Every structure is written in structure tokens, then in C-alpha cells.
Amino acid sequence: MTDPALIAKTLRDGGVALLPTDTVYGLAVHPEHDAAVDRLFALKARPRTRNLPIMVGSVDQISLLGALVTPQAAKLLAAFAPGPLTVALGLGDRAPFWLDGRVEIGVRIPAEQLMLDVLALTGPLLVTSANAHGNDTPETVPEILEQLAGEPDIVVDDGKRPVVPSTLVNCNLPEPRIEREGVLSAQQIEEALL
């Protein structure tokens, strides 16, 4: 199943998709479907209190979220997006309803063509690593399905994937801080911020 239109329709209709990203496999849902978000948390056995990262197809989609893109975040996005970078950004007062109550979001633009094609059709998606909460992310779809508490509506098996996550940089601070070193090294981040 690699038809972006069918994947997008499933997500817009409230389904959950297991998809390859440019880092690990991810579980994706459309943010406007509360039941799908609840199901994603249930599949991962993850506490509902934890926020989910947002994937977008372009830098332009970030502004539609009402995110406050700092000059430092803009430098990082210019250097590494699309790619294995997640930036934490503050939210302004023009955020969509499904971000009510949040003051910060993690945003990523993946360098995976299938994901970009789907995002072009759906707009922003909530996407998190495809693993049970607290467990390492498996490299293969069969291992993922063994770990999850149920099965997603659509599964795209793209073979073995690396298990190194995106690098997370908090840009909602006076100075950016690396919260999680992943594919991108601290040195790469620091050099991009010069």
C-alpha cells in the first residue's frame, strides 16, 4: 500500500497509518479526529498527557499552525528541512483548534517522499515513533506490529529502517537547546546556528 491518495483518505477519515519516515517508522493520524488520536495513544500504550509531534510538508505549513518561528529555528529549518530535525516552537494566538491548550509544539518536515506526498494531501499530521511506550523503536514492520496493542488501518512496509530518531532542538527558549541528539549531531546543529 503506497498510494498517497488512499493513505491520505484513510487519515482524513479518522484512520491510523503505520508509515516509513526518513528516520524510524511512524504512526500517523489526522489531528482533527480525536478518536484517531485516542486510538494512537492506545496502540502505543502511551499516556494521553504527552503531546505528539507534528509533521508538515513544508515550512509554509508551519506558519498555518500559528507557530512562532524564531530566527534560530529559521536557520535550522533552512539547513536541515526536509530532514531528520524536529524543532520545538512556541505557539501564538492563531493556532488551529486542535492545538488548544498547548503552548509549544514539536514540528518536523520529513525527507521521505511518500510522507511528503501524503502531507501535501492532508496538511499537518500527528506522527510519533511506531513503538510501544517506553520500548525501543523496532527496525521492521513485523516487530512493530508485535509490540503494538492492536493494528493500524494502513501499514506501509518499506523494509528495515534505522532506529535513530530525529534530532530535537528546543527553539522556544532564549537560546536553542538540543533536547535529543539523533541523526543530526550536536556539532551539525551548532554549526548551522553560527
pLDDT attached to residue 21: 94
Q: Cell 524543532: give the residue.
A: 87
Taking only the tens place, the pLDDT of each residue in 95-110 is 888 888 888 999 999 9
Contact in structure between 54 and 127 (CB atoms under 8 Å): yes
Task: Tell me whether residue 158 is exposed, middle or buried, using C-beta atoms within 10 angstroms of its C-beta: 0 to 12, 13 to 18, 19 or more.
Answer: middle
Copy the grid coordinates of residue 45: 500504550
**Over its length of 194 residues, how does the chain's per-residue pLDDT go in tens digits?**
689 999 999 999 999 999 999 999 999 999 999 899 999 999 998 887 778 899 999 998 898 898 999 999 999 999 999 999 999 999 988 788 888 888 899 999 999 999 999 999 999 999 999 999 889 889 999 999 999 989 999 999 999 988 889 999 999 999 999 999 999 999 999 999 98
Contact in structure between 192 and 79 (CB atoms under 8 Å): yes
The Cα-based distances of 170 to 99, 114, 173, 177 in angstroms read 18, 27, 7, 5
Q: Model-level pTM?
A: 0.93
The total of structural domains in the chain comes to 1
Contact in structure between 26 and 156 (CB atoms under 8 Å): no
Taking only the tens place, the pLDDT of each residue in 41-54 is 999 988 877 788 99
**Partners of 81 in the β-ladder:** none
**Structural domain span for residue 118:** 4-192
pLDDT attached to residue 97: 81
Find the CATH number of the domain harbouring 77. Answer: 3.90.870.10
Copy the grid coordinates of residue 146: 508485535
